Chains A and B, each alone.
Chain A
Amino acid sequence: MTIVYEDHEGETTDVPVRRIRFTVNGEKKIAEVEPRLLLAHLIRRGLGLTGTHMGCDTTNCGACTVLVDGRPVKSCTMLAVQADGHEISTVEGLATASELHPLQEGFKEEHGLQCGFCTPGMMMAAKALLDENPDPSEEDVRWALSGNLCRCTGYQNIVKSVLWAAAKLRAESGS
């Protein structure tokens, strides 16, 4: 990779950078980042993974939710340098080449999305829930998703989508 800077004579254009190592969707990466760079921007611009969306910039809407070491994190308020040494999962890592994740199927089956903008964050927050609690109640789902805002659906179908996925995952694991 090459980075070209404008040459402003007599001025320093050196931007302080830090080298970080991290894993994204199972792939090991090294990046040189400005200390102030947000994790969401590293994911979207640096890695080109535009499935992680930015809605509010203030940790409220949850559109930028990713998993860091399996825990849901709003990537608009975490610095990229804080991801050093950690594992990040984004929506792009949910499906395999041949198969959708049950959450993805569930959202389509139960009409859990309309404009689609909040959907990746919703699915990642839901994944964190299901990884911990394979048999959640409706209330569990509503609580787990309470940090993610949707303006289109009214949530009822999102809740159904997550419960659909939970049932399928349980059936697959034979529990």
Chain B
Amino acid sequence: MSHALDEIKIGGLGASRKRVEDNRFIRGKGNYTDDITLPGMLHMEILRSPLAHARIKSIDASKAWDIPGVHLVLTGEMMATRNLAWMPTLSYDTQAVLATDKVRFQGQEVACVIADDPYIAKDACEAIDVDYEPLPVIVNPRQAVAEDAPVIRDDKDSQRDNVIYDWEVGDKAGTDRAFEQADVISKLQLHYPRSHPSPIECCGSIADFNRATSKLTVYMTTQAPHIIRAAVALVAELPEHMIRIISPDIGGGFGNKVPVYPGYVCSILASILLERPVKWIEDKSGNLISTGFARDVYLDGEMALRRDGKILGVRIHTDADHGAFFSDAQPSKFKIGLMHSAFAAYDIPAAHLTARGTYSNKAPGGVAYRCSFRVTEAMFFQERMIQAAADDLGMDQAEFRRMNFVRDEDFPHRTPFGFLTDSGQYAKCLDVGLKAIGYEEFRREQAEARAKGRLLGLGISTMTEPLGAGNSREYDILGIKMFDSAELKVHMTGKAIVRTGARGQGQGHETTWAQIVSHELGIPADDVVVEEGDTDTAPFGMGTYASRSTPVAGAAVAMVSRKIRAKARKLAAHLLEVSEEDVEWELGRFYVRSAPDRGVTIQECAMAAYSNMPDGMEPGLENTAYYDPPNLTWPFAVYIVTVEVDPETGVWDVLKMVAVDDCGVRINPMIVEGQIMGGLTEAYAMANMQFITFDADGNCVGSNYMDYLLPSAWETPGFELHSEVVTPCPHHPIGAKGIGECAAVGGPAAFVNAVLDALSGTGVRNIDMPLLPDRVWEAITYRRDVSGAPPVRSDD
């Protein structure tokens, strides 16, 4: 008779366990960076540039110094004396910490004030007098490469124009041949607008340098504390073991809290100079206009098609507007992230991608906003292109996809750009989605409605995406390989603590990592505590972004648990007085193969590790695992939306949205569904209202929540989620794939395809996101494509 524990009851794999972290958050007892107060703490505020491009003629801070309560005013000139006016970026460029020569975007950091109180610091910022000489402004790649364009980065000796890189990947010759053989060539151009991850909590830090111990402790809003520690060690030339980065509770990240920002650097320098803790908490405008944006890519592509619907090849060109500094947070090897993951779900023989990056007078960033490094743009273009191609061929949207999908038996599948997709059941997922939306019936309704002048539309988006960088062969950031880690300590009473190199921001790591331990060791999840975010205690890891926590750190938790189980097996053999080969494992317990009733629990093994180990065995039951994934994980998703567009106003409403996500084994189904609904909402936001743009003078439109629209509970539609298709990841220890971002990546195309489907027959091929009522109205009324590229149109 089995004595194995009921895995769901102990909170193991597959349990919709209620979240542990909620206990503090629902009581208002979270511990976010701004909640921390240290003795003697001072406050820092930043003065930002009102202009997008201007030479700094002079800075007079004397009035600021005179304000009682002001301790320090930092300017670029002072930073330069310590070689800190500029810092390296994660993409081998440099970025100004505080401006010295010029300001290059609106909102750029010019000076900062450290004072007794944040109100005083703000007063003092306003007392700083900066004399600017305005310069011509660039807000898009077309302007950037114009002949008479001013050179934005004249600080760099080798930079003669505004081009950052020209890059290509794929098979040019093979793709050219595919286009020669094509019956039909389908084309599409679009702009994926600049967006901002905009977590509700802004960025901030508290730097605390202690002269007596020479130790620098920094509490900061970072998704990747170990990367920050390395960066501080290298930039500030402080010894790494004297730097402690603590990432307390984070009020949302979505990629915004990966980079190193000037505010962090200034607070650190100020604390070193003043020998007091210095707190910097950004305001919302500062967050929106200066910190890591996302997207802002112009995509231009074409698809070679056979008359029967077979895709023969794809060409894509991307023009990415990186802002004033190339500071994309992405694997170093790839200039435009994983853009070349586009079309991975389809069996396409040849593909070629060219990419150009340019500077502009806009904020730097290029972060992976709920996205695995530009995968969002890739999948959006892919699904818009697929819809356009199906329309050009006169084929059904669903059938065109189905006939070009990579088939279940063809995995692992090498994509034309060289990725190896691992597994999936694409057609089955599509079937589930079509059934759920009532595909055939909706098409009938749509035709009937059209006859009465009502515009209904249905949009499909199907995609697989690469989640969980790296493997170390291909993925590194500034040379640091993208593995991750977990440390597990089992105490003598069988309770345990797990630490990982990841850092959750709402994903529920404190709940799910314990479930993995529970699955591997049979220790009830409630007996396992999870800690992350402190570089003095957590093992080295690359942090949480790009859906890499479960694929990499989560795998490390499973692997370290297995190391613990291997040692526990030896302890069990010792306790049971049999040889190790005669010991069998079932959840929570070792037993003698020939006498299953004779067994010891994992808790008894833990006690023995401290009180009764065999001769020669090292005491204790602790270990660490570093996990270097063999491949990325490839979840698959089908998102289908139906909409009604009001032809008189251009307003569109979601009638129904269905999501079918196959992300392999789900550790905690409740949390997975929460991630999907959150992602769908961001997808809806991007399709409907959320974007940042600029006028011709480089003024940021979208610098606060009055202009940067985020959907509330009122606008956000309901979602119907489907989880019936499960394809375990073949190379992940527990079969899981990434999921945090799928919906935000694949979702936008479903909404846009639905609206354009509603406009079918008008000749409108593209409306740039967001599909604001005026843009949709313009498309309907004038039967033309509508561009959303900056500068924004003025009324005069």
Report B280 CB to chain A, min CB distance, Å: 14
A143-B714, A158-B713 known; A107-B26 Cβ under 8 A: yes
Which residues of A from 147 to 172 have beta carbons under 8 Å from B? 147-159
Interface: A111 (CB within 8 A): yes
Interface: B507 (CB within 8 A): yes
Interface of B is mostly: loop
Nearest CB in chain B to that of A122: its residue: B713
Which residues of A from 71 to 123 have beta carbons under 8 Å from B? 90-92, 94-95, 100, 104, 107-109, 111, 113-120, 123
Interface: A24 (CB within 8 A): no
Q: Which residues of B contact A5 (CB under 8 A)?
A: 68
**A49-B252 in contact (CB<8A):** no
Which residues of B from 664 to 715 have beta carbons under 8 Å from A? 670-671, 673-674, 677-682, 704-706, 710, 712-714
**B32-A51 in contact (CB<8A):** no
**B704-A117 in contact (CB<8A):** no
Give the contact stretch, choosing among B197-205, B385-393, B455-463. B197-205
**A90-B28 in contact (CB<8A):** yes
Contact of A115 among B24, B37, B69, B250 (CB under 8 A): B250
Interface: B34 (CB within 8 A): yes
Bound-state Cα–Cα, A151 to B19, Å = 18
Nearest CB in chain B to that of A109: its residue: B18
Report A115 CB to chain B, min CB distance, Å: 3
**B22-A149 in contact (CB<8A):** no
Report B200 CB to chain A, min CB distance, Å: 4
Interface: A136 (CB within 8 A): no
Nearest CB in chain B to that of A61: its residue: B200
Q: Which residues of A contact B165 (CB under 8 A)?
A: none
Interface: A36 (CB within 8 A): yes
Interface: B21 (CB within 8 A): yes
Interface: B140 (CB within 8 A): no
**A63-B200 in contact (CB<8A):** yes
Q: Which residues of A contact B116 (CB under 8 A)?
A: 6
- Interface centre among A36, A37, A90, A120, by most chain B C-beta atoms within 10 angstroms, is A120
The A/B interface has a contact count, at CB < 8 Å, of: 176
Q: Which residues of B contact A36 (CB under 8 A)?
A: 119
Which residues of B from 249 to 276 have beta carbons under 8 Å from A? 249-254
Interface: A130 (CB within 8 A): no
A90-B28, A154-B677 known; A13-B68 Cβ under 8 A: yes
Report A127 CB to chain B, min CB distance, Å: 12
Interface: B506 (CB within 8 A): yes
Interface: A17 (CB within 8 A): no
Nearest CB in chain A to that of B715: its residue: A146
**A154-B26 in contact (CB<8A):** no
Q: Which residues of B contact A92 (CB under 8 A)?
A: 27-28
Q: Which residues of B contact A58 (CB under 8 A)?
A: 284, 704-706
**A60-B507 in contact (CB<8A):** no
Interface: B716 (CB within 8 A): yes
Interface: A21 (CB within 8 A): no
**B251-A60 in contact (CB<8A):** no
Contact with B along A49-76 (1 / 0, CB 8 A): 1111111111011010000000000000
**B22-A116 in contact (CB<8A):** yes
**A52-B28 in contact (CB<8A):** yes
**A116-B670 in contact (CB<8A):** no
Bound-state Cα–Cα, A100 to B26, Å = 9
**B251-A116 in contact (CB<8A):** yes
Interface: B154 (CB within 8 A): no
Nearest CB in chain B to that of A162: its residue: B713
**B706-A60 in contact (CB<8A):** yes
**B714-A114 in contact (CB<8A):** no
Nearest 8 interchain pairs by C-beta = A51-B28, A117-B251, A116-B25, A115-B506, A114-B506, A60-B705, A91-B28, A154-B677
Listed A/B pairs (12) with beta-carbon separation below 8 Å: A51-B27, A51-B28, A53-B32, A114-B508, A115-B200, A115-B251, A115-B252, A117-B200, A117-B252, A152-B678, A153-B681, A156-B677
